[in-house]
A and B are shown apart, each in its own frame.
Chain A
Amino acid sequence: MAAALDAGETTSVALTQAHLDRISAVDGAVHAFLHVDAEGALAQAAASDARRSAGQVASPLDGVPIAVKDVLATDGLPTTCGSKILEGWVPPYDATVVRRLRAAGLPILGKTNMDEFAMGSSTEHSAYGPTHNPWDLGRIPGGSGGGSAAAVSAYEAPLALGTDTGGSIRQPAAVTGSVGVKPTYGGVSRYGLVALANSLDQVGPVTRTVLDSAILHELIGGHDPLDSTSIDAPVGGLVAAARQGAQGDLSGVRIGVITELSGDGWQDGVMARFTEAVDALVGAGAEVVEVSCPHFVHALATYYLILPAEASSNLAKFDAMRYGLRVWPEGDAPSAEEVMKATREAGFGDEVKRRIILGTYALSSGYYDAYYGTAQKVRTLISRDFEAAFEQADVLLSPTAPTTAFPLGAKLDDPLAMYLNDLATIPANLAGVPGISVPSGLADEDGLPAGLQILAPALADDRCYRVGAAAEALLAEQWGGLLLDRAPSLDGGADGEAVSA
């Protein structure tokens, strides 16, 4: 798209309008968006076109529209985090990544649906109703960032931003046939990201191609003085790595397959596509080794102590005192405390309450050492597993998620089954290392997309892009195009053609 803009074949206004039209046509069925800002996006597009005709293009993606997950603060645009408690809240400031998007000239189409406060793996926990998987509207689009992934795979947006705390970018990408990246912790500013678990959260790209992700990643990444945990090092070399990988030559690259992320509970079709993807990489010259990460089996338990603990504290601010929902309890003169209670009771969904209770318990005096303290120790052991594994391999591979998209409602009443979706993605968040999910093909059983996850050491995000782009190119050669080319067109009217940003 950027190339078409550069060549003068289209304008940002035309592109943006086309996507707004597509949203009008299919989002009734997909429900990827919580809020569409047609007016704002077209105004930004017009400004972009004006810049372009004045020869003052702001960035490689100037004029290419984008969708933003509703967990990122957008000045003047509602930001609800998929929760009733923030219904109608319009932030007075932009998240740093949003500010960077605006500075780079990307029109913002709107805000995408998500599990409430990013708690979930299916987007069914959104207080505003679920998002539907464009491949099969009866199935989940993954979560928590199902809205962003569905918007991209349904051609409602060429690019999107997501956030990944335990897989919320990568798992939705896998089950919708798109590309999603969780950068190195601290690689992209979290300022303006409404925190789920501060020590795990990262903002990252959701796109149709690996190269698009690399370009977007370079735009949003880099040091931010407003985020103390942001790494003070320039982000770069990602686009170059993606281009290099796309050449399909992986000579000298050592890929490690993680033993612990396979076996029982892993869908056959997902494993079959994974094995083929590894074979393709080996065919391109990569050397494959099997690596063991023995502490990964504890990752899920560790995650479900650290995340609720941090979240329980983060969510305390939603108390009806300053913004968002305010519920008056029965009676004449309720105290502030009673208003807080009534608001939180009405404003938070069950999954959020579940995790607040879990986290509050894990941090309680007398239990802190046993739960939160131990979890932090196991977290260190998981990081050490990664260190040891990265001595044997340059990147580590696994399927992104154990299964393809499951039917809506299938796991809603079984939180533990739901949590298992993130088995393969969680370790990267605990250790702060980067990961990418690229499509590995369609599972034989159900014809639905599966994902290949590529993990790299902290600050070596470029390796994810190199190997990811190689896998994408090699598999596209086998398939004769991108996986998304095969996605259903939904309304039959709009173009189902793969368009690269």
Chain B
Amino acid sequence: MTETLLSFDDALAAYDPALGLEVHVELNTASKMFCGCATEFGAEPNTQTCPTCLGLPGAMPVVNATAVESAIRIGLALNCEIAEWCRFARKNYFYPDMPKNFQTSQYDEPIAFDGWTEVEVDGETYRIEIERAHMEEDTGKSTHVGSTGRIHGADYSLVDYNRAGIPLIEIVTKPILGTGEKAPLVARAYVAHLRELLLGLGVSDVRMEQGSLRCDVNLSLAPAGSGTLGTRTETKNVNSLRSVERAVRFEVQRHAAVLSGGGSVLQETRHWHEDTGITTSGREKSDAEDYRYFPEPDLVPVAPSREWVESLRASLPEPPRERRARLQAAWGFSDLEMRDTVGAGALSLVEETIAAGAAPQAARKWWLADLARRANDTGVELSALGVTPAQVAEVQALVDAGSLNDKLARQVFDGLLAGEGTPAEIVAARGLAIVSDEGALGAAVDNAIAANPDVADKIRDGKVAAAGALIGAVMKEMRGQADANRVRELILEKLS
């Protein structure tokens, strides 16, 4: 099924988009939301379970105090009010990966509400109003074996309940208006900003590829200038920054095509397809969907004392914007350099690399030019690439000392990614160090001159630019392990 799309520019000429983002964050607490089970990612299926998170008859939940603390810190970092008293509620619906057939969540009494935060896109600041941040438990994870999704016969489903009961915080924005053609970028910037903020709080691993940060994108269009809100769709599980941007773009174009064709947008859930970059219709989200929320009678209300909330507020880390401004000034980065650094998710990595001794520009160069490309190629987050800031600083120190040039340094990174040891070990094992033996270098220069008499003559005639060809020949003979500047000096000395 192919959707008709309007061009993005035409869409924006005729309609104003309204965005809404729902972000689910898995907290990195050691134990689950309502039981003592471990939360480690990637464990053998159903090994991190107990009567409570399996929903066995008779088992009861107990609230994880650390999760409540994390929720409050997230709320405070998003300038939210923190509830003086709030309850959990049961969200009732049947699904095989939900052990109790209700999810313990919060309904009309979220722990945090009425907040705001700001993101920057192309030098412009957008204020995002936060409706609420509430606590809930994750569901299990179904794997459907076979193509039909039926559970009988040759096809079957497997459910892993390790994830069931992992603490989640759901952060919901109010409708984000007035972003115009920047809507896709604002959506992306907001999610990137949340990631940075959550990372700074230390409350989540925020690994989008592992599902510890999941994003649902709500979008509606209204006729330009009408000031109304159109019918929205909710695109589920948009799980990378790039996809957030693309999904918004796609839905803007799709809605615009429906509306401009005289049709009306169906209020529904849509599925995001990472590979093709499109959304497809999911279940219709009608008013008939009734979760029959009511307060969870097995849990007592959460009533964080004001003293506790204030002590948590006092211990919050520096907010991302202030931090970025401070670091940019200290490092002397241009706005563009800073934006790229943040956009690549490299801010903390660069900061740590500089702290380990590298110069700011060098640190930026390695992470953004070289390592970011590698991360992109292998489809992992930069922080999960497997190279540490300390290692980058060590490589740069070797460059600064003249033992490596940039090309050799890249080979050291190859070695690091292949797990060949420390940078020094890799340099030794791979024989990468620059040859500073003047005798060997001199001999190579002599060979190059002898092999290229025409070039040598040009240089003797004062055409110094021709030296490049000889430098190349020398570097080739030295297999790159020479300092190019020193080679140039030697050539010019010999031919002057």
Contact = CB atoms under 8 A, between A and B. Distances in A.
Interface residues of B, number: 36
A379 B352 CA distance: 59
A303 B51 CA distance: 29
Contacts of B300: 228-229
Interface string A226-246: 111100000000000000000
A334 B152 contact: yes
Contact of A229 (B99, B155, B298): B298
Interface string B290-313: 101110011110000000000000
Nearest to A344: B94
A73 B58 contact: yes
Contacts of A322: 54-56, 99
Interface in B126-153: 148-153
Question: Main SS of the interface on chain A?
Answer: loop
Contacts of A86: 57
A333 B155 contact: yes
Nearest to B34: A228
B90 interface: yes
Contacts of B440: none
Given A335-B150, A335-B151, A337-B94, A310 B56 contact: no
A313 B290 contact: no
Interface stretch (A40-48, A264-272, A364-372): A364-372
Contacts of B100: 316-317
Interface stretch (A20-28, A89-97, A381-389): A89-97
B380 to A, nearest CB: 34
Nearest to A227: B60
A340 interface: yes
Contact of A92 (B51, B62, B149): B51
B56 A92 contact: yes
A197 B152 CA distance: 34
Interface in B48-76: 51, 54-63
B58 A199 contact: no
Contacts of A66: none
A72 B152 contact: no
Interface stretch (A5-13, A118-126, A187-195, A468-476): A187-195
B178 interface: no
Contacts of A193: 58
B4 to A, nearest CB: 32
A228 B58 contact: no
A261 B54 CA distance: 43
Contacts of A309: 294
Given A93-B56, A226-B62, A313 B90 contact: yes
B422 interface: no
A334 B155 CA distance: 11
A147 B278 CA distance: 61
Contact of A317 (B99, B148, B298, B299): B99
A335 B298 CA distance: 31
A328 interface: yes
Contact of A228 (B57, B294, B299): B299
B447 interface: no
Nearest to B296: A198
Interface in A331-361: 332-337, 339-340, 360
Contacts of A332: 152-153
A319 interface: yes
B383 interface: no
Interface string B71-101: 0000000000000000000101010100111
B102 interface: yes
B157 interface: yes
Interface string B145-182: 00011111101010100000000000000000000000
A336 B96 contact: yes
Contacts of A91: 51, 56-58
A322 B56 CA distance: 9
Contacts of A378: none
A364 B60 CA distance: 24
A360 to B, nearest CB: 7
B94 A334 contact: no
Given A323-B56, A333-B153, A365-B290, A228 B99 contact: no
A128 B41 CA distance: 44
A223 B292 CA distance: 31
Nearest to A366: B290
Interface in B345-375: none
A365 B91 CA distance: 12
A442 interface: no
A317 B60 contact: no
A190 B60 contact: yes
A363 interface: yes
A317 B55 contact: yes
A334 B102 CA distance: 23
Contacts of B51: 73, 91-93
B68 to A, nearest CB: 13
Nearest to B101: A316
A316 B102 contact: yes
A2 B91 CA distance: 48
A364 B288 CA distance: 10
A438 B54 CA distance: 40
Contacts of B297: 197-199, 229, 310
A323 B148 CA distance: 24
Given A339-B152, A368-B294, 20 more contacts: A89-B57, A93-B56, A93-B59, A191-B60, A193-B58, A194-B58, A228-B300, A310-B294, A312-B92, A313-B292, A316-B92, A317-B55, A317-B57, A332-B153, A333-B148, A333-B152, A333-B155, A334-B151, A363-B92, A372-B294
Interface of B: 51, 54-63, 90, 92, 94, 96, 99-102, 148-153, 155, 157, 159, 290, 292-294, 297-300
9 contacts: A73-B58, A79-B57, A194-B58, A197-B297, A228-B298, A309-B294, A313-B292, A333-B152, A368-B293
